[in-house]
Amino acid sequence: MSLSWLPNAISLMRIALVAPILLLILNGGFGWALALFSVAGFSDGIDGYLAKRYDWHSRLGALLDPVADKLLVAGTFITLAYTQHIPVWLAAVVILRDVLIVGGAMAYNFIVKPVEGEPTKISKLNTALQLLFLLFVLSRAGFGWPDEITLTVLGAAILITVIISGVDYVWSWSKRARAGE
């Protein structure tokens, strides 16, 4: 029996964790939110590793994984901004980039050809920084650690990588679309 379905199941589990995480944040359960968010973040690495290591790639997995990431990250940014644990402008910039990427992918998919869901290196760095930032914000809200300067530096790094990766996606997809690739 093949376990090739496992990465997709992990992505679905990550999607299922989004609502409880957001509800815990809204209700002040930051310790539990941090624990579930950690599981979700760790599972993102596991499903990617399994898919690459054992060549368990699928079209569904190529769609589920980024959807799970976007729901988790966007939902947590929005909820933490709503509860005033992070600046609204930072959440807005992160969400705007994701909307740009998803909108661009949909347009490319319908106008040019099906999108191959391979994130760029800067996008992977941005996602890692966002996950680390959200972990630290939840940790600070629940346990008072790390200090504010750490969150400020991470927030600045996110802003820089959001801008660079957003521009990179627009530029590279535009270039590929013009070339008909």
What contacts 24+ positions apart, CB below 8 Å, involve 152-157? 154/129, 155/86, 155/87, 155/90, 157/129
Provide the H-helix boundaries in the chain: 6-26, 30-53, 59-82, 88-111, 121-143, 148-179
**Is CATH 3.40.1160.10 what the domain over 6-179 is classified as, yes or no?**
no
Q: What is the pLDDT of residues 76-128, one digit of tens each?
A: 999 999 999 999 999 999 999 999 988 888 888 888 887 766 778 999 899 99
Q: What is the pLDDT of residues 130-151, one digit of tens each?
A: 999 999 999 999 999 999 999 9
Residue 1 has pLDDT above 80, yes or no: no
Domains of the chain by residue range: 6-179
Residue type, 58: S
Is the distance from CB of 138 to CB of 33 less than 8 angstroms? yes
